[in-house]
Amino acid sequence: MSTPLKGRIRHSVCAWPYESMPLDTFCKGAKEIGLESIDLLYPDQFETAKQFGLTCAMVASVSDEWNITRGWNRPEHHDDLITYYKYLIDETAKAGFPSVVCFSGNRDGLDDEQGIENCAKGLQRLLPYAEQKRVNIVMELLNSKVDHPDYQCDHTNWGVTLSKKIGSDRFSLLYDIYHMQLMEGDIIRTIRDNHTYFSHYHTGGAPGRNEINESQELYYPAIVKAIYETGYKGFVAQEFIPTRTDKLSSLKEAVLICDI
């Protein structure tokens, strides 16, 4: 039986911290906690989620060739990225899921203005296809301080500037609270000021990216309340690395913390 949740927040969880667990076991546990979604699944995993009545609010895009370090900020990647993302868009649309994540790529000496220009040119070629298929393309904000050295979309302002330049309802940002705490802090003000550009949220304890309880510095009930007060109707997805042997107990705790 699902945990009775309050219904103000739609809950999801990223799959990768639970990869040691069979996917069907994980989906069953997530459903019992009361989640509606599993984030960052690949097309060959969609059916398993659906069997448990779960959606995938954010489809994964990292592959052997295309990863966080190699993204849209290099024009020489655009043709191949468009081919790859059209495949992901097709699979996402067929499954009835809403969004696919994307990444800027690393700077590797590229200045921020040129990186924005390059990302915009490539994504503007892809977005008419995304519009046709009614799928969103969402770029994730990540920290370049600890986890993803040299990643270019590492500040809210960079992502918002790109969003304004692209100017499409099918493009938006994934605001990862853990990553942006490391880079910027001032989480609640940033959400209030920029929420129109954010279509998805990820959590994580800072520092360390572990449980979001009193062991870390962020106070998630206030953060999630601020998200809710913007009128947000999307998902808040847990993306912390559990330290407990019983990983699902950590997940349940996090969901209840965010269930304002």
HSE-CB for 136 with a 13 A CA cutoff: 24
pLDDT (0 to 100) of residue 250: 98
CB 148 within 8 A of CB 178: no
C-alpha to C-alpha distance for 142 and 177, rounded to whole angstroms = 9
C-alpha to C-alpha distance for 66 and 191, rounded to whole angstroms = 29
pLDDT (0 to 100) of residue 41: 98
pLDDT (0 to 100) of residue 4: 84
Structure tokens at 169: 């309802």
pLDDT (0 to 100) of residue 145: 97
**What residue ranges do the domains of the chain occupy?**
10-258
pLDDT (0 to 100) of residue 146: 97
- Report the Cα 19 to chain-centroid distance in Å: 17
pLDDT (0 to 100) of residue 189: 98
Structure tokens at 116: 């924005």
Superfamily of domain 10-258, CATH level 4:
Divalent-metal-dependent TIM barrel enzymes (3.20.20.150)
Q: pLDDT 10s digit of each residue in the chain, 260 long?
A: 455 899 999 999 999 999 999 999 999 999 999 999 999 999 999 999 999 999 999 999 999 888 899 999 999 999 999 999 999 999 999 999 999 999 999 999 999 999 999 999 999 999 999 999 999 999 999 999 999 999 999 999 999 999 999 999 999 999 999 999 999 999 999 999 999 999 999 999 999 999 999 999 999 999 999 999 999 999 999 999 999 999 999 999 999 999 99
Roughly how many angstroms between the first and final C-alpha of the chain, as a whole number?
21
C-alpha to C-alpha distance for 46 and 81, rounded to whole angstroms = 22
Task: Give every CB contact of residue 161 below 8 A, 6+ residues apart in sequence.
Answer: 116
Sign of CA dihedral 224, 228, 230, 234: positive
Q: Which residue has the tokens 């007060």?
A: 229
